[in-house]
Amino acid sequence: MTTQDRHVRETFIMLADTLVADFDLIDFLDLLARRCADLLGVTACGLLLVDHHGTLTTVAASSEEARLLELFQLQNSEGPCLDCYRNGALVSCADLDEPDGRWPQFTEAALNTGFKGVHALPMRLRDEVIGTMSVFTSTTGALSASALELGQGLADMATIGILHERIVRRHEVVTEQLQTALNSRVLIEQAKGVLAERLRIPVDAAFAALRSHARTTNRKLLDVAQAVIDGSLTIHDTTSGNSRANR
């Protein structure tokens, strides 16, 4: 077994272990985004989910640049993820330097961010598409068939985790779970900003500190974010040699 094969197996085992009765959906999706970027050898990965109004919303990204670019295409109603969601099929652009006119605003924003290629994969179960997974590359060139197959497998894994086998029984439960995840993301983004300002560190580093504290103390990421916002929890910058957190 190659190192890559072992990492793929470990990722699917780790994600499967996360799928318990009361699993942390936001933590699951953030883990998935980072693992996807690592395993596919791409620069970044982002995840979008549709809310109960039928509107796509950014819920996870492996980097702040990817998150902002996902938000950009949603705000401008233009981009590969929107096309992927509408059609329920893979959308690829291996070279954004060779524009084809599909997404002029998105293409310019992506190039300014440093991305040269993008591939959007549907998060779909049977005929229902609940979101998209996008991967961004800093170099031009198509992803291999095996990489796209692995990416789709990870997107399918995310779909299973989100639906958690309830979609065939009770659609209302799934809709409520997705909406809760989207609301949780707003609070977590607020906590990232608060912590970044307090510690004078980048937003990515602030999120890493939030997630590290949640895992170390065996608390949900949402609970830690709420505590940071209301001031009941102080997290210190570990790079400065301070303790991880105190009450």
H or E element at residue 61 = strand 56-61
80 pLDDT more than 60: yes
Where does the pLDDT of residue 167 fall: very low under 50, low under 70, confident under 90, or very high at 90 and above?
very low
Where does the pLDDT of residue 125 fall: very low under 50, low under 70, confident under 90, or very high at 90 and above?
confident
Report the pLDDT value the prediction gives residue 162, as an integer from 0 to 100. Answer: 76
pTM, two decimals, is 0.71
Report the pLDDT value the prediction gives residue 163, as an integer from 0 to 100. Answer: 76
Comparing 19-23, 42-46, 155-159, 186-190, which segment has the lowest mean pLDDT? 19-23
| Residue 239 DSSP class | G
Comparing 180-184, 226-230, 234-238, which segment has the lowest mean pLDDT? 234-238
245 pLDDT more than 70: no
Average pLDDT over residues 202-208: 92
SS3 105: helix
- Look at strands 56-61 and 44-50 and give their pairing: antiparallel
118 pLDDT more than 90: yes
Please report, rounded to a whole number, the percentage of residues in the chain having pLDDT higher than 70: 85
d(CA 11, CA 20): 16
Average pLDDT over residues 222-231: 92
Q: What is the pLDDT of residues 89-114, one digit of tens each?
A: 999 999 999 878 899 999 999 999 99
1 pLDDT more than 90: no
Highest mean pLDDT among 3-17, 155-169, 224-238: 224-238
Which residues have C-beta within 8 Å of that of residue 221, sequence separation ≥ 6?
24, 26, 27, 30, 188, 210, 211, 214
2 pLDDT more than 70: no
Q: What is the pLDDT of residues 156-165, one digit of tens each?
A: 888 887 776 4
Report the pLDDT value the prediction gives residue 20, as an integer from 0 to 100. Answer: 60
Average pLDDT over residues 123-148: 92
Report the pLDDT value the prediction gives residue 22, as an integer from 0 to 100. Answer: 60
Task: Map out the domains of the chain with their CATH numbers.
Answer: 3-169 (3.30.450.40), 183-246 (1.10.10.10)
H or E element at residue 129 = strand 128-137
Q: How many CA atoms lie within 13 A of 134 on its CB side?
A: 36
Q: What is the pLDDT of residues 42-51, one digit of tens each?
A: 999 999 998 8
224 pLDDT more than 90: yes
Count of residues in the chain: 247
